[in-house]
Structure 1
């Protein structure tokens, strides 16, 4: 049997006829579906530690680009010349971006 997955789904409440008095009484007695996925745990909001980084200073040494390195024209990372894949529009492209 073929199934039309695009058709709207019918619920048990839709099958109960609500046009008659008996249908309305049956609709009152029908239970609502209970969501059993809630395990009762309270989820606390997640705060990013050190959200205010205005007073922080970066410490590290910056080494200038060496003669055997190039800057990729796509990702703009400095890489060793052995990673050159091609040259486009006068700039070198690394193996990862090619």
Structure 2
């Protein structure tokens, strides 16, 4: 027997006539129940990456911007002057990444 692979596939549920009241009742009975209950697996708690760190004290060395560096007006990162893409004024400099 030849099989038409381009024809839409039909399920057994599609054969039930749902145009009539009897067909709808039969379709209700044919539906399988979904079990949404917990499977009982214990899951370890995890820390959310964006957790509140307001109580934490950070320590590090902050170096001021050097004379050969600029602050990009788009991404606000301090970069070396060799990465300048556009200069609109002294206060508006855009780096190559943001260009």
> Which TM-score band (shorter chain)?
0.5 to 0.7
TM-score normalised by structure 1 residue count? 0.58
2:31 is aligned with 1:32:
yes
TM-score normalised by structure 2 residue count? 0.58
Instruction: Give the unaligned 5+ runs of structure 1.
Output: 4-10
2:91 is aligned with 1:87:
no
RMSD: 3.9
Identify if the C-alpha distance between structure 1 residues 56 and 26 changes in structure 2 by more than 3 Å, giving closer, same or farther.
Answer: closer
Map 1:3-82; keep pairs closer than 5 Å.
Answer: 12=14, 15-19=17-21, 23=22, 27=26, 30-33=29-32, 40=39, 42=41, 44=43, 46-48=45-47, 51=51, 53-82=53-82
Identify if the C-alpha distance between structure 1 residues 62 and 13 changes in structure 2 by more than 3 Å, giving closer, same or farther.
Answer: farther
Q: Is the 8 A contact 1:13 1:30 kept in 2?
A: no
Instruction: Give the unaligned 5+ runs of structure 2.
Output: 1-5
Question: Aligned residues, how many?
Answer: 84
